[in-house]
Amino acid sequence: MKKVISCILIISILISIISISVTQRRVSAVTMSSKYTQYIKSGISSFPKSYQNKLKKLANLHPNWKFEAYYTGIDWNELISSSAENKCKKNTIYYKSGSTIIDPEGLCVCGKKGDANYYCASASTVNYYIDPRNFLDETMIFQFLNLSYDENITKSIVTKAVANSFLKGKFKVGNKEYTYVDTILEAAKESKVSAMHIVVTIFQELGRGSLKSDGTYSTPTAASGTVSGYKGLYNFFNYGATDGAGAVNRGLAKAKEMGWTNPRIAIKDGVKRVLANNYLNVGQNTKYFYKFDVVGNEILTESLGKRTYSSNYFFSHQYMTNIQDPSSQAINLFTYYTNGGILSNSLTFIIPVYNNMPDNPLEKGTTLTKDDGTLYRVNVNSSVNIRSGTSTSSSSLGTASRGMIVAVTGSSGNWYKVKFNKATTYNSSNKKWNYSTTNGYISKSYLEKITTTNNSSSNTSNNNLRIDDKKLTISVLPRSTVKTVTSTYSKASITDKNGKTISGTSTVIATGNIVKLNNKKYTVVTIGDTSGDGNISSSDLLKVVNHLNGTKKLTGAYLSAADVNQNGTITSSDLLAIVKHLTGSSKISFK
């Protein structure tokens, strides 16, 4: 009878899993703070240690660069919750079937689409791109560049930046002729915005135009003034052009509202209204802050000290939905600063810091495991081809973007043979992405071995347990015994949560037990044991369901035990891992 009841409960919970997967997008809402206290501290030593090594390398390359730590006062778990940055469709990622390689864990289970070839990004994808520590190299650091006016950006530098584009040309207002370059420089000085930021943003929104037979470049549609129904209207920043079909027309309707009836006023007033007033002047003065609204409502400086802002100012004001945009804009800025000969100038980078961040930078989500091979991340600025053979002349199997995880299964010369799972089509019935498992080759120079474990500050680990001196926990696998601990720590003593000694080497230990070792007390976390009885059963499933539904929240060691996948968040995938453990299809293990 007990087995029948357990089976019925498991079936009902599986139904809950499907529901939770659809409604919660693999990330939970949390109770948000009502206000955040923020401040800036200058210098590499002002940053947490997990930032410092990479910043020191950059300082050695560019001694004139300055780094400012922007302490946001935002808790990491609040930041990445569905109440803040992980709202569905708030963040999209480029995906073109056939040519783009994305692990199915990179796309949201909702399957929703924004602009053409842009789909809702998964929670783990958002977490990767929002973690600043993933982008502290010479190129990617430019998404944190202060975008305020820079007098060192001269006309010759801007002219070089707009070469091979429509912005190198001229336009007329009435009988008077103007150049785009001069107009941009005037707009920059008047609005106190970096001229390079203006150039990069226009290219971001409109492109560079197409080369014509006479050597000039065509003007992109939104800035041409020739669209039927909107003739004589110009929008260089796609202001009001929200995602989806008809975006250009929506942008030009906004241009009409703004009075942008010629290129000169459209650029100058656009810079003032869109870039300066809407973003820079309210503190969103980096490409990263354009995407992630984690600052108050003013330009914060170190001299201002601590400022406290209402939570109403946060998480809603974003320039773009494309999660990869700050990275792509960083590449453009780096390129233009390099070509302009000003890369080694005195540049200021404002980099956010969050409370209770994971000890190590977060990886992108993956369906691969260590059983598939040795896990590596793609280490390129933008994307790289995965080839069918060990040559650049071999056909491409598709492009993989920065941070994607692959499993290395062999090597040949300068090439790694890799295994990867590639999302194919969305299954609306099951609310998941179908995928194919493929093998290919990548140059060794484009891969970096994953050597750290996210969300863990373990000082000691083995196949049986993990001890964390920061959190004062000892994590063990289901059915671990006293001997599991004492075989590694012979002087350890174990008690239950009430202080009663647990004796007998074969006695099973449970979540909530206490291990006394070296004058410290560590709380036992048995992975999957959310009830604290030492066993994995349907009651553990029910507790996780209640936690996800908000009926009864888990806390402390019991919350840690619910994180079966050990990725820092409690989701329906943790439920499924417990079900697989109970049915015997897959056992709970350390990741």
Helix (H) or strand (E) holding 52: helix 49-61
SS3 content of the chain, % helix, strand, coil (to 5): 35, 25, 45
Q: In angstroms, rounded to a whole number, what is the distance separating the alpha carbons of residues 144 and 157?
A: 21
Residue 441 — very low, low, confident or very high, per pLDDT cuts 50/70/90?
A: very high
Angle formed by the axes of helices 572-583 and 2-24, to 10°? 150
Residue 89 — very low, low, confident or very high, per pLDDT cuts 50/70/90?
A: confident
Residue 24 — very low, low, confident or very high, per pLDDT cuts 50/70/90?
A: very low
Query: Domain for residue 573, yes or no?
Result: yes
pLDDT value of residue 581? 85
Q: Which amino acid is at 476?
A: V
Asked whether residue 200 falls in the same domain as residue 214, the answer is yes
Residue 87 — very low, low, confident or very high, per pLDDT cuts 50/70/90?
A: confident
Q: In angstroms, rounded to a whole number, what is the distance separating the alpha carbons of residues 260 and 270?
A: 8
Asked whether residue 218 falls in the same domain as residue 235, the answer is yes
Q: Does the pLDDT of residue 125 top 90, yes or no?
A: yes
Asked whether residue 386 falls in the same domain as residue 497, the answer is no
Please write the tens of the pLDDT for every residue from 311-360. 999 999 999 899 999 999 999 999 999 999 999 999 999 999 999 898 89
Reduced to 3 states, what is the DSSP secondary structure of residue 212? coil
Asked whether residue 392 falls in the same domain as residue 475, the answer is no
Give residues with Cβ within 8 angstroms of 228, minimum separation 6: none
Whether 445 and 124 have beta carbons less than 8 Å apart is answered as: no
Q: Which residue has the higher pLDDT, 46 or 215?
A: 46
pLDDT value of residue 201? 94
Query: Domain for residue 133, yes or no?
Result: no
> What is the mean pLDDT of the segment spanning 29-34?
80
Asked whether residue 443 falls in the same domain as residue 390, the answer is yes
Asked whether residue 428 falls in the same domain as residue 469, the answer is no
User: Which of 239, 268, 285 is the endpoint of a domain?
Assistant: 285
Q: What is the DSSP letter of 578?
A: H
Number of domains observed in the structure of the chain? 3
Q: Does the pLDDT of residue 308 top 50, yes or no?
A: yes
- Beta-bridged to residue 526, according to DSSP, are 476
Asked whether residue 437 falls in the same domain as residue 462, the answer is no
Highest mean pLDDT out of 28-37, 285-294, 484-493: 285-294
> What is the mean pLDDT of the segment spanning 125-138?
97
Q: Which residue has the higher pLDDT, 133 or 519?
A: 133
Whether 408 and 418 have beta carbons less than 8 Å apart is answered as: yes
Whether 282 and 199 have beta carbons less than 8 Å apart is answered as: no
Tokens of 496: 């239950």
pLDDT value of residue 15? 53
Can you spell out the DSSP letters for 497-517?
A: TTS-B--STTPBP-TT-EEEE
Asked whether residue 170 falls in the same domain as residue 258, the answer is yes
Dihedral sign (CA 313, 314, 316, 321): positive
Residue 461 — very low, low, confident or very high, per pLDDT cuts 50/70/90?
A: very low
Whether 222 and 249 have beta carbons less than 8 Å apart is answered as: no
> What is the mean pLDDT of the segment spanning 465-476?
84
Residue 13 — very low, low, confident or very high, per pLDDT cuts 50/70/90?
A: low
Q: In angstroms, rounded to a whole number, what is the distance separating the alpha carbons of residues 285 and 147?
A: 5
Q: Which of 117-131, 389-403, 451-465 has the lowest mean pLDDT?
A: 451-465
Q: Tell me whether strands 465-468 and 473-476 are parallel, antiparallel or unpaired.
A: antiparallel
> What is the mean pLDDT of the segment spanning 252-257?
96
Can you spell out the DSSP letters for 159-181?
A: HHHTTTSGGGSEEEETTEEEEHH
Which residues form the domain of 186?
Answer: 155-285
Asked whether residue 439 falls in the same domain as residue 412, the answer is yes
Can you spell out the DSSP letters for 452-466?
A: --TT---SEE-SSEE
Assign residue 420 the CATH number of its domain: 2.30.30.40
pLDDT value of residue 468? 81
Residue 244 — very low, low, confident or very high, per pLDDT cuts 50/70/90?
A: confident
User: Which of 418, 449, 480 is the endpoint of a domain?
Assistant: 449
Half-sphere exposure for 163 (CA within 13 Å, toward CB): 10
Reduced to 3 states, what is the DSSP secondary structure of residue 467? strand
Asked whether residue 445 falls in the same domain as residue 478, the answer is no
Whether 209 and 218 have beta carbons less than 8 Å apart is answered as: yes
pLDDT value of residue 566? 84
Supply the mean pLDDT for the chain: 89
pLDDT value of residue 104? 93
pLDDT value of residue 3? 52
Asked whether residue 413 falls in the same domain as residue 465, the answer is no
Angle formed by the axes of helices 263-270 and 247-258, to 10°? 90
pLDDT value of residue 10? 57
Residue 455 — very low, low, confident or very high, per pLDDT cuts 50/70/90?
A: very low
Tokens of 541: 């499933």
Q: Does the pLDDT of residue 39 top 60, yes or no?
A: yes
C-beta pairs of 390-394 under 8 Å, 24+ apart in sequence? 390/414, 390/415, 390/441, 394/441
Highest mean pLDDT out of 6-10, 24-28, 193-197, 548-552: 193-197
Q: In angstroms, rounded to a whole number, what is the distance separating the alpha carbons of residues 120 and 127?
A: 13
Share of the chain above pLDDT 90, in %: 68
Whether 539 and 510 have beta carbons less than 8 Å apart is answered as: no
Assign residue 462 the CATH number of its domain: 1.10.1330.10
Reduced to 3 states, what is the DSSP secondary structure of residue 342? coil
Query: Domain for residue 149, yes or no?
Result: no
Nearest alpha-carbon partner for 223 in 246, 247, 206, 201: 206
Q: Indicate the pTM of the whole model.
A: 0.74
Q: In angstroms, rounded to a whole number, what is the distance separating the alpha carbons of residues 236 and 207?
A: 10
Q: Does the pLDDT of residue 27 top 70, yes or no?
A: no
pLDDT value of residue 7? 53
Asked whether residue 497 falls in the same domain as residue 530, the answer is yes
Q: In angstroms, rounded to a whole number, what is the distance separating the alpha carbons of residues 449 and 378?
A: 9
pLDDT value of residue 417? 98
Angle formed by the axes of helices 538-549 and 2-24, to 10°? 30
Please write the tens of the pLDDT for every residue from 148-194. 999 999 999 999 999 999 999 999 999 999 999 999 999 999 999 99
pLDDT value of residue 26? 54
Q: In angstroms, rounded to a whole number, what is the distance separating the alpha carbons of residues 100 and 98?
A: 6
User: Which of 240, 266, 285 is the endpoint of a domain?
Assistant: 285
Q: What is the DSSP letter of 97?
A: T
Query: Domain for residue 20, yes or no?
Result: no
Q: What is the greatest pairwise CA distance in the chain? A: 96
Q: Does the pLDDT of residue 19 top 50, yes or no?
A: no
pLDDT value of residue 269? 97
Q: In angstroms, rounded to a whole number, what is the distance separating the alpha carbons of residues 479 and 234?
A: 68
Please write the tens of the pLDDT for every residue from 48-65. 999 999 999 999 999 999
Query: Domain for residue 69, yes or no?
Result: no
Q: Does the pLDDT of residue 307 top 80, yes or no?
A: yes
Please write the tens of the pLDDT for every residue from 354-390. 998 988 999 998 989 888 999 999 999 999 999 999 9
Tokens of 220: 């992109």
